[in-house]
Amino acid sequence: MTRTLARVALFVFAVTLSISAFAGSSKTQTLTLLHDAQLNGTTLPAGEYTLKYDTSGPTCQVKILKGKKEIVSAEGQVKQLATKPTRDQVVVTKDGAVPTLSEVDFRNSTQAISFESSMADAGK
């Protein structure tokens, strides 16, 4: 009986590990905006937010929360940076009255999330 229980426990453990290996990477970061910014048409007032993202290959699904409330979600692209920034960085583009959030670079990481639209590539 003990041997069967050990085999079942080992099987469950192996299945759990294999499922997590195929799942995308889910991470949480703090995002501080010093000025208002827009993402997907939603204006984010200056302040501190929680940025949750799930990566799946070159894309990621991003949720920005204020406390426990989701403010906006967007699809981003995972971008590789040449060097690791020493602090978190927010890149905005100023096309209208309110700047648009275009990229988030993470401290001590060569990965960033870009929100650049495919429309930028269409003009090239």
Residue 95 is predicted with a pLDDT of 82
Phi, psi angle pair for 117, to nearest 5°: -80, 160
- pTM flag (> 0.75): no
Residue 80 is predicted with a pLDDT of 94
Cα–Cα nearest to 88, from 39, 33, 41: 33
d(CA 94, CA 67) in angstroms, rounded, equals: 27
pLDDT digits (tens, 9 = 90+) for 5-16: 334 333 434 434
Cα–Cα nearest to 115, from 123, 104, 124: 104
pLDDT digits (tens, 9 = 90+) for 76-109: 999 999 999 999 999 999 988 899 999 999 999 9
pLDDT above 90 covers a percentage of the chain that reads 67
Mean pLDDT of 51-72: 94
Q: Look-up: residue for tokens 């501080």? A: 32
Mean pLDDT of 39-58: 94
DSSP letter, residue 37 = E
Does the pLDDT value for residue 32 go beyond 90? yes
Residue 68 is predicted with a pLDDT of 94
Mean pLDDT of 35-50: 95
Residue 2 is predicted with a pLDDT of 53
